Chain A
Amino acid sequence: MSEIDEALRNELQRQGVWVTSMQELYNWGRKNSIWPLQFGLACCAIEMIATAASRYDIARFGGEVFRPSPRQADLMIVAGTVTKKMAPQIVRLYNQMPDPKYVISMGACAISGGPFKQGYNVLKGIDRYIPVDVYIPGCPPRPEALLHAFMELQRKIDSQKLTGASRAEHLDPAEPSEFPVPSFGEHDLEPPANRDVFHPAKIERQS
């Protein structure tokens, strides 16, 4: 699929000829109908609800159809504190979503455990088990921040390739779309993190 020259396309548009590509059309449709999975975990969910309500109105971006079933959802908004008891269920819901699927990690807790990071019962970030596309800091993030994350995700979807070596993950059969569900261990979740997914930055410091 050859890309059309930007200047040529603008010139054609000026003359009343609208040219597009299959990839552009496909991504345009996808990015404007992201259906989130309807579930919330803590106070971030209240902000997510506010984002869906009329004042902030996520429908402006095509994301208003919150689906109560993972089978119909494109986007998982992990809104709130993920306890270790809840983590296996979240991974299971993620596995049940059909490809292509995306994850927004909303708020400090979903990113790292937040204020409960050193607690015995809170998972230190959902990115230990599933891949996350957009992180939103905040405690809780305002609806504008969630809309910003939503627009970032739209930008990501828009830039995804359909063919070639750098094509989107869901079109690559080698990329996994399901991840192992952690089990309840005697002291912690087993395993404590999925090493294929979780790659924390190495911090170089004098020990």
Chain B
Amino acid sequence: MESLDEIKARIEDAVPGAKIDIVPNPGPANQPSLLIDNEHAPAIAQFLRDDPALRFDFCSNVTGVDWLDRTVKKTVKVKKLIDGEEKEVTETTEEHFPGYLEAVYHLYSMTHKQGPVIIRMRTADRVAGARLPSLTSIWRSAELQEREIFDLYGIRFEGHPDLRRILMWDEFVDHPMRKDYREPDDYEYEPTPHDDVLEKAKQHYAPRPQLDGAEQITAKL
């Protein structure tokens, strides 16, 4: 299979104006992916599917990722002139990255027995109506999985033929796989709680009965 850099270069040739980044994956899997821009996503997907050398005709998996807002603190040692004397001062800078939602597609080629190539799309922000283009028209197998992402992460896929909730009921308003999802508090009966559940179960504990001294008499006997 062509390397990801070659695929990226060929897409940029074939789809004018397409902006593609390679997202490295420094983990043991070492599976870098292509971050494609939302505007040209359908054209890029079409190219990946129909190019005779690539033919990624099988979209095996579509999933979502929730990235929260994050602040990165950097401490840098800087030499400064203070009172005519050069001193080393540590400066802390804070950089704020706004959060976003991501849809990840795993593509394989049945024709050439190759893959996977992973493509990602990112929303601008994490609001409930965050939008991405649907790739269901390119890979039919994405239909149910995009519905699942819509249900659990709240990404609206534009151009999807039937965007409804798939796992939760229609009246449900939350998106349970979001990292800031808070489940309803039904921890009133937890016989063996621990960790997070223990903290939630403590809210429901009945206070111990008032001690009247009788228990000390029993202890002496």
Chain A contacts to B: CB under 8 angstroms: 84-85, 118, 120-121, 124, 184-188, 192-193, 200-207
Contacts and interface: CB of A to CB of B under 8 A. Distances in A.
B85 to A, nearest CB: 58
B208 interface: yes
Interface of B: 167-174, 176, 181, 183-184, 186, 188-191, 197, 202-203, 205-209
- Residue in A124, A192, A200, A205 with the greatest tally of chain B CB atoms within 10 Å: A205
A187 B173 contact: yes
Q: Is the interface of A mostly helix, strand, loop or mixed?
A: loop
A184 B197 CA distance: 25
B189 A200 contact: yes
A204 B174 contact: no
Given A85-B169, A120-B176, A187 B184 contact: yes
A124 B168 contact: no
Nearest to B177: A120
Contacts of A84: 169
B168 A121 contact: yes
B207 A121 contact: no
Nearest to B197: A118
B168 A207 contact: no
Nearest to B189: A200
B172 A201 contact: no
Nearest to A205: B205
Contacts of A124: 186, 189
A193 B204 CA distance: 15
A204 B184 contact: no
Contacts of A186: 171-174
